[in-house]
Amino acid sequence: MRSTLHEIASVLGVIAAAMVLWEIGVWILKPPPIILPAPSVIFAEFLQAPSYFLRQTAYTIYTTLAGFGLAAVLGLVLAIGIVHSRLLEKTVYTLLVALNSVPKVALAPLFVIWMGTGIEPKIAIALMLALFSVVIDAVLGLRSVDPDMLNLARISRASQFAILRKIRLPNALPSIFAGLKVAISFALVGAIVGEFVAGSEGLGFAILTAQGQFDTPRVFVCLLLLGLLGTVLFYLVEGAERISLPWHVSQRGHASGH
Amino acid sequence: MRTALAPNPAISPATDPAMTTTEPAAASQMPGRATAPAYVSIEGVGKSYGSRHGAVHALAGIDLEVREGEFLSILGPSGCGKSTLLKCIGGLERVTKGSLAVRGQPLSGPPAKAGMVFQRDVLLDWRTILDNVLITAEFLGQSREALKPRALQLLQRFGLSGFENRHPWELSGGMRQRASICRALLCDPELLLMDEPFGALDAMTRDDLNLELARIWQDTRKTVVFVTHGIAEAIFLSDRVVMMDRNPGRIVEVMEIDLPRPRTLAMRETPEFGRYVAHIRHLFAGLGILKEG
Ligand SMILES: Nc1ncnc2c1ncn2[C@@H]1O[C@H](COP(=O)(O)OP(=O)(O)OP(=O)(O)O)[C@@H](O)[C@H]1O
Ligand SMILES: [Mg+2]
């Protein structure tokens, strides 16, 4: 617990130092405010309408988490199917890999045509961007099982389901979490892209509106909020990982002593 | 002088070149001391692995009967197919030739009531030691709760009391291997397959576990197939020792070990024990596996 607080404190310290340098830099170099406003100006902008910014942030959080959650569940189910079925491996997996080589962001307008301008296409884009890394890492994790672990289960005539639940899944958890950590960042990207393409809410939409008005401080408020959001979401997944994997080599240093 | 029986003290095996030419067929046809029925019958079994460099003949023409309640060791150089043979008996590998039956039933998949100890302990890092032992019950669909007392008792017997709630990585190699033996014994298997379980352990721990295993076998009379590199270990534990050679993996001799039970570590100092060791050494030296100075 102390090490976690320590970590948070040091991250905040680095950010604060960067802000101070930025403030001093702007103060000395005096760039036009439309190019680069000082942090103090950005904070003032935020304080003018905090509820507006927080509402946009909440919308983006909702879209991101919905896309991420769906991607996690769907990705895991797909991965389990792919690992157990040659047919699914040949079809779904091949298709996913092919789809992944298309710049998926380019598909965003298509989703708007299909689903309209509500929240659904944004969730769908977040889901699409996040899905791939969940599936790839989960498949990798589910496959890389020590053959003797499987032999151990088979000599006791374990069912496929028992092998999945008691061996493959726990064994794959570290890999699954690696995928989820990438996926949460992609889900956020997807949410913003969705708001860019057709939106009336969210941080992506707020950035686009501010851009229309050449309101650089407002763009920066949104960017900083996005940075904060991305960081918090990432650490939430990492926190979940620490709670679920106290046994893993990478976590043993953090485990509380006996 | 072709024999599968104990080396005749009148003829020193080390000076009897005929000993080294014993053929597996002759060996397996010799009447054994025990007359127990066969638990595992292996007839003409061959196993080839296809690989990029052509087929590997891991086993060829294996004829062997494992009798009910006997302790049988398989001894041979690295790569002679010991693990492969064990996995075939456990139904974990399909044989490519011949037939394999357990209690008269042709094998298709792992036999009922078999337990296996692997060369590496393969404990699951996400489970405590107790839960690792109990996983056998879960796999077999038996009640965890009902078997918990037995698991604790086994752990105690193997000197692991107080470590039930630790995780595998908190234990030494010897302790981990003991836990894996408890896991194999949990549901009281009739057939226990052990693949060099003590191979990675230091000599003292090994002696200790050999004694414990001998005691357990004495008490329960399970049918044990025990793969090892250790000559002394094989003689100490076994009723019979099967000696194998490689390329292709085959049986060169089966030897009865006629030492009294229960066995004690002190027996390893006796001349009889020494004669068995000398015989096996000589055999493997003749095959060019052991270089004699
Ligand atoms: N899965 C596999 N695929 C291809 N070849 C294999 C496979 N498993 C074993 N072999 C080959 O079969 C032969 C016998 O292997 P096996 O593991 O049974 O030997 P072993 O007697 O147990 O050796 P060791 O004492 O070193 O464990 C070796 O030549 C090995 O390369
Ligand atoms: Mg082996």
DSSP state of B107: P
CA distance A201 to A118: 9
Q: Measure CB to CB from residue A155 to each of B114, B120, B138 and give the nearest one.
A: B114
Which band of pLDDT confidence, cut at 50, 70 and 90, is reported for residue A246? confident
Q: Does A158 touch chain B (CB under 8 A)?
A: yes
Look at A154 and B110 and tell me if their CB atoms are within 8 Å.
Answer: yes
Contact between A166 and B115 using a beta-carbon 8 Å cutoff = no
Which residues are bridge partners to B73 per DSSP? B226, B241
Provide, as residue numbers in chain B, all residues whose Cβ is less than 8 Å from the Cβ of A167. Answer: 124
Contact B254, B243 (CB under 8 A): yes
Cβ <8 Å between A170 and B110: no
Locate all alpha helices (DSSP H) within B112-239, ordered by sequence: 129-140, 144-157, 173-185, 203-220, 231-237
Distance B4 CA to ligand 2 centre (A): 24
- Number of Cα atoms under 13 Å in the Cβ half of residue A258: 8
Structural domains in chain A plus CATH codes = 49-251 (1.10.3720.10)
Question: Does B123 touch chain A if contact means CB atoms closer than 8 Å?
Answer: no
pLDDT digits (tens, 9 = 90+) for A176-194: 999 999 999 999 999 999 9
CA of B186 to the centre of ligand 2 (A): 24
Q: Measure Cα distances from A225 to A174, A229, B105, B267 in Å.
A: 29, 6, 69, 77
Q: Chain B within 8 Å of A151 (Cβ-Cβ)? A: yes
- Sign of the CA dihedral with B212 first, then B214, B216, and B219 last: negative
Which residues pair with residue B226 across a beta bridge?
B73, B194
Counting residues of chain B whose pLDDT is more than 70, the rounded percentage is 87
Question: Token digits for B261?
Answer: 């039970």
Q: Is B135 on the interface with A (CB under 8 A)?
A: yes
pLDDT digits (tens, 9 = 90+) for A108-139: 999 999 998 899 999 999 999 999 999 999 99
For A53-100, the DSSP string reads HHHHHHHHHHHHHHHHHHHHHHHHHHHHHHHH-HHHIIIIIHHHHHHH
B101 in contact with chain A, both atoms CB, cutoff 8 A: no
Ligand 1 pocket test, pick from B82, B89, B194 with the greatest ligand atom count within 8 Å of Cβ, gives B82
Contact B110 A248 (CB under 8 A): no
Distance CA A183, CA B141 (A): 37
Q: Average pLDDT for residues B175-183, to the nearest whole number?
A: 94
pLDDT tens by residue, B117-159: 999 999 999 999 999 999 999 999 999 999 999 999 999 999 9
Interchain CB distance below 8 Å, A155 and B167: no
Q: Is the CB of B51 under 6 A from ligand 1?
A: yes
Whether the pLDDT of residue A2 is over 70: the answer is: no
- Residue nearest atom 27 in ligand 1 by C-alpha distance: B78
Quick check: B139 and A148 CB within 8 A? no
Closest residue CA from atom 30 of ligand 1 = B79
Average pLDDT, rounded, for chain B? 86
Question: For residue A149, what is the nearest residue in chain B, using CA coordinates?
Answer: B122
What does the alpha-carbon distance between residue B121 and residue B244 come to, in Å, rounded to a whole number?
Answer: 24
Calculate how far, in angstroms, residue A225's C-alpha sits from the geometric centre of ligand 2. Answer: 58
pLDDT in tens, B51-102: 888 888 899 999 999 999 999 999 999 999 999 999 999 999 999 999 999 9
* Cβ–Cβ contact B188 with A under 8 A: no
Question: Best interface-test mutation with B: which of A150, A151, A152 has the largest number of B CBs within 10 A?
Answer: A152
Q: Give the position, in ligand 1's atom list, of the atom nearest the Cα of B47.
A: 12
Mean per-residue pLDDT for A92-97? 89
Tell me, using a 6 A CB cutoff, whether residue B28 lines ligand 1.
Answer: no
Determine whether the shortest distance from the Cβ of B228 to ligand 1 is under 6 A: no
Ligand 2 centroid – CA B185 distance (Å): 21
CB of B84 sitting under 6 A from ligand 1 = yes
The residues near A215 (Cβ < 8 Å, ≥ 6 apart) are: none
CB B98 within 8 A of CB B46: yes
Q: What value of ipTM does the predicted structure carry? A: 0.82
Beta strands B240-245; B71-75: pairing state: parallel
Write the DSSP symbol of residue A24. Answer: H
Chain A closest CA to B3's CA: distance in Å? 35
Whether residue B43 has pLDDT greater than 50? yes
Which of A146, A166, A245 minimises the CB distance to B138?
A: A166
Instruction: Inform me whether the pLDDT recorded for B239 exceeds 90.
Output: yes
What are the tens digits of pLDDT across the range B10-36? Answer: 434 444 443 443 444 444 444 444 577
